[in-house]
């Protein structure tokens, strides 16, 4: 099936049902764009891995991540957003639209917004999955303030890890950075700041072998890669900053990506392929914040409307 008529066709298909995708769907529905939101998992995306959200405007006491997702989803339903639970496997450009091959069948779209975000790389050690959201986190700006005066461990040695350690030092009693090498990979200026920070200490040539705790993180097991000995240290939280993997493998090779596979867009959230837009964590240079994601979603939908108007194919 290439240029055959699609049984299911929409002006816009949004791929990804996190806060960014849901926001795009709300704006598109209010703009009366014929839209379908496709999400392979439950609504909320990476947001459901968080616990208390304290940096989203309008909630002075914070809001539980699951509650925020439910509110955004309810708002989307109010505007009649159509959703489908399916995994998008391939996006194939055609003459006048795009063919999306999904686990629930083929869908055609005149425009596409990719809001699939990325997946944090995991350590894969015992206790990590069990204590996720209970002291194990992948976002310091999201969860750091929850661990005031706690002993915090940061895993990683790149810019993200150093940034997270510096940020966490504002709240923590002490921050230990665990790095598998004997020197950092981050920018020198960040290294200088971290080395000069009295709250930050480095554990070199080591890895986290396990994370312990009943309902909350209580300790981490550190293994020295040179001596292969292990030790258990008390901990209140573990922040894992070893990188992210973008979820964009289903896109055509003509969509430009950076060296890490994140989608390159302009300020209007347009990609290198006309008709395909992107927003949120999947975008190159993303700040990986809910607020920036929803802002980019807004811009992307406005750009979609301009594109549909320009090609004269927007449905009344």
Task: Supply the residues annotated as catalytic.
Answer: 139, 142-143
Distance (Å, whole) CA 4 – CA 150: 60
Structure-token match 């459901």, residue found: 48
User: How many helices (H) and strands (E) would you count in the chain?
Assistant: 6, 19
Q: Angle, nearest 10°, between helix axes 19-30 and 65-78?
A: 20
Q: Give 182's contacts (C-beta < 8 A, 6+ positions apart).
A: 204, 205
Instruction: Name the helix (H) or strand (E) containing 19.
Output: helix 19-30
Residue 80 sits at the vertex; the CA angle it makes with 26 and 270, to the nearest 5 degrees, is: 35
Q: DSSP string of 217-265?
A: --EEEEEETTT--EEEEE-SEEEE-S-EEES-TTS-TTS-B-TTSPBP-
- Report CA-CA distances (Å) from 10 to 105, 107, 112: 14, 8, 10
**Among 123, 82, 74, 71, CA closest to 104:** 82
Least Cα distance to 41 among 33, 30, 50, 49 occurs for: 49
Provide CB contacts within 8 A for 292, sequence distance 6+: 280, 286
Structure tokens at 106: 């083929």
Instruction: Mark residue 312 as left, alpha or beta (left: phi above 0; alpha: psi -120 to 50; beta: remaining).
Output: left
């Amino acid at each position: 099936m290439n240029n055959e008529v699609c049984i299911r066709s929409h002006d816009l298909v949004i791929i990804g049902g996190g806060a960014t995708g849901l926001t795009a769907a709300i704006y598109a529905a209010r703009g009366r764009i014929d839209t379908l939101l496709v999400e392979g998992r439950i609504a909320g995306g990476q947001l459901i891995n968080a616990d208390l959200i304290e940096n989203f405007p309008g909630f002075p006491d914070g809001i539980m991540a699951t509650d925020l997702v439910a509110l955004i989803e309810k708002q989307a339903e109010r505007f009649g957003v159509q959703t489908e639970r399916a995994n998008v496997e391939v996006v194939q450009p055609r003459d006048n639209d795009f063919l999306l091959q999904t686990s629930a069948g083929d869908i055609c779209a005149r425009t596409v917004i990719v809001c699939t975000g990325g997946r944090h790389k995991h350590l894969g050690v015992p206790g990590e999955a069990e204590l996720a959201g209970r002291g194990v986190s992948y976002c310091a700006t999201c969860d750091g303030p929850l661990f005031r005066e706690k002993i915090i461990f940061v895993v990683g040695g790149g810019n993200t890890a150093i940034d997270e350690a510096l940020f966490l030092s504002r709240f923590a009693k002490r921050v230990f950075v665990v790095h598998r090498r004997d020197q950092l990979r981050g920018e020198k200026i960040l290294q200088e700041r971290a080395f000069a920070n009295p709250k930050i200490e480095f554990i070199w040539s080591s890895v986290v072998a396990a994370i312990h705790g009943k309902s909350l993180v209580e300790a981490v097991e550190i293994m020295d890669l040179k001596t292969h000995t292990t030790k258990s240290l008390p901990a209140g939280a573990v922040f894992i900053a070893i990188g992210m993997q973008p979820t964009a493998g289903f896109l055509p090779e003509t969509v430009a990506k950076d060296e890490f596979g994140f989608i390159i867009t302009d300020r209007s959230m347009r990609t290198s392929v006309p008709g395909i837009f992107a927003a949120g964590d999947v975008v190159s240079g993303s700040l990986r914040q809910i607020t920036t994601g929803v802002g980019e979603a807004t811009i992307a939908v406005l750009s979609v409307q301009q594109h549909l108007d320009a090609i004269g194919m927007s449905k009344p």
